Amino acid sequence: MNDVYAFIEAEKTTHTVALLCRLLKVARSSFYAWRSGEQARQARQAADDALAHEITVLHIASRHTYGVPRIHADLRRLGRRVNRKRVERVMRERGITGVTRRRRRSLTRPAKRAVPAVDLLGRDFTAPEPGTRLVGDITFIATDEGWLYLATWLDLATREIVGYSMAGHHRASLVVDALAMAAGRGRLQPGCIAHSDRGSEYTSEEPRGEIRRLGLRQSMGRTGSCSDNAAESFFAVLKEEIGTRRWPDRATARTEIFAFIETFYNRRRLRKHPHWGYLTPLEIRQRHDQRHALAA
């Protein structure tokens, strides 16, 4: 019916509205009611176009990864009070979609003779405070020079990557270097649990000795289950959201992974906290720090 009314509007300078309505079998009152609402429709369309522009900017800033929940949360953080269903509709109409992560294959392999540490987490991948529970894992990155291996330690309270290391091998020293980085930032509390799977990179004496030296407690779950069963797998986020499947060389991969962790994931990427809503890992840590400061 809108097309009929639009035709009458376009032809009313040539023929009278009464004639056009009679020929097209529509009531003049209905046409005039439609015409009076045209201004409101144009205003709504202009508002949707402006919202779509804001959504597009936020989507680009998220490396084209945010879906409706994070886009809606980002808009609210900017002071835009907009209905989530409207955000969903505008994104759908303009083909703006987020990234769906795939489950990854674990790199680590169980050691044949080493005795694993006790599982101190019991598959509870949460933490009440930063610096009390870390999850460690290793993944591989494809480059034209060969594999680049990345070891990380993730703080379960904030989901912040507090330590990481990259090399052309995945020996135990890769894990130790990442742990040393986490400890060097001064964010680990005495007795902090360092949890991993039972891969040989974690069961060897080198990481065991470093964990003892730092005053931490080692914990191990089943091989390959550690990060996949945490609330969010960082490696799945990295591989889906960084936007590159294969790098030309290890140096380029190192640079881009460093930038992804330090400038995007830790400081800008939103995740839903069970109590505080959508925040970045850095903001979650700051909330904990503020709470301790007020308690003191």
CA 47 to chain centre: 28
Structure tokens at 133: 């529970």
pLDDT recorded at residue 227: 46
pLDDT recorded at residue 103: 54
- Return the residue matching tokens 């639009």: 6
Cα-based distances in Å from 181 to 82, 85, 185, 220, 226: 41, 43, 6, 20, 20
Q: What letter represents residue 28's amino acid? A: R
pLDDT, tens digit only, all 296 positions of the chain = 678 888 888 888 888 888 888 888 888 888 888 787 777 878 888 999 999 999 999 999 888 889 999 999 999 998 899 999 999 999 999 999 988 766 555 566 555 566 788 999 988 888 999 999 999 999 999 999 999 999 999 999 999 999 999 999 999 999 999 999 999 987 899 999 999 988 889 999 999 999 999 999 999 986 555 444 553 578 888 988 887 788 999 999 999 999 999 999 999 999 888 888 999 999 999 999 998 777 76
Tell me the Ramachandran region of residue 159: left when phi exceeds 0, alpha when psi lies from -120 to 50, beta otherwise.
Answer: left
Global pTM reads 0.76
pLDDT recorded at residue 232: 52
pLDDT recorded at residue 116: 82
With beta carbons less than 8 A apart as the criterion, state whether 98 and 66 touch.
yes
pLDDT recorded at residue 10: 86
- Residue 248, judged by CB atoms within 10 A of its CB (0-12, 13-18, 19+), counts as exposed
